[in-house]
Amino acid sequence: MNASKVVFQSRSTSHARGAMFGVLFVLGLGLSLLCQSQRAQAHELEANRLTLVQRDDRHVQLTLVVDLPAALHRLTSPAEPYAEFLVRCAAAALPDLQRVFETAKAQWQRETVLETRSGDTGSFQRWQWPEARALQAAMQENLMSLMTVSKTAGADHVHPQPQEVQAHWVASKGTVSTLKVSLPPSMKPTLVVSYRPHQQWLTPKESSTWVKF
């Protein structure tokens, strides 16, 4: 079940919040230019990358490098122009954004599943996500980038800084040699990289060692 559209309510009247709204109001003056261009979302998920590392016969580590603001937009408010979504989230009270982010994380975690050829399936555990405060800071940076680049090279040249997410999966039986992975639709397209590290010692008596790829 998809998360509902994000709805935020401001809970602070502090001078800091007022200053933030003032900055965002100035930034929002250029939104009409951004929203008229379909290129405004061309950058959204270009950097997504999933890396699966087999730590031992049964243990797989996930590292997901993803544009979380864009993924949250696709999950919660796909019909809303991306720039307007950024303005709303960047100005939201942090507890409101936290609530929406927690709901989204729960759905993303449910939708990220591994399956082995032997039929062993399961969800990842020990998830590590950026904090809501870091997510909001990324949204503010993305908004600034959109506003700046729209006046120069165009919105399709925006390259947001992706965020890193980690998790672990341990098979209940057997040795893992081949996996099928499912990812949330809102995090696609995603480049999938997988490998099992080769380890060897370089001792004090050795000046060098051969490394095989």
pLDDT value, residue 74? 96
- Checking if the pLDDT of 59 tops 50, the result is yes
Q: What is the pTM of this model?
A: 0.76
Encode pLDDT of 93-113 as tens digits: 999 999 999 999 999 999 999
Read out DSSP for 48-73?
-EEEEEE-SSSEEEEEEEE-HHHHHH
- Checking if the pLDDT of 22 tops 50, the result is no
The mean per-residue pLDDT over the stretch 80-85 comes to 92
Mean pLDDT score of the chain: 80
Report the DSSP beta bridge partners of residue 64.
Answer: 50, 165
Query: How are strands ordered across the β-sheet holding 59-66?
Result: 125-128, 163-170, 59-66, 49-54, 191-195
Q: Spell out the alpha helix ranges (H) of the chain.
A: 15-28, 31-35, 68-76, 82-90, 94-111, 132-149
Query: Three-state DSSP class for 45?
Result: coil
Residue 29's pLDDT band (cuts 50, 70, 90): very low
pLDDT value, residue 199? 85
Q: What are phi and psi of 207, to 5 degrees?
A: -85, -20
**Cα separation, 83 vs 155, whole angstroms:** 10
Say if strands 163-170 and 59-66 run parallel, antiparallel, or are unpaired. Answer: antiparallel
Least confident of 19-23, 120-124, 191-195: 19-23
Smallest CA-to-CA distance from 212 within 188, 192, 190, 196 is with 196
Tokens of 112: 């990220």
Instruction: Report which DSSP code applies to 152.
Output: T
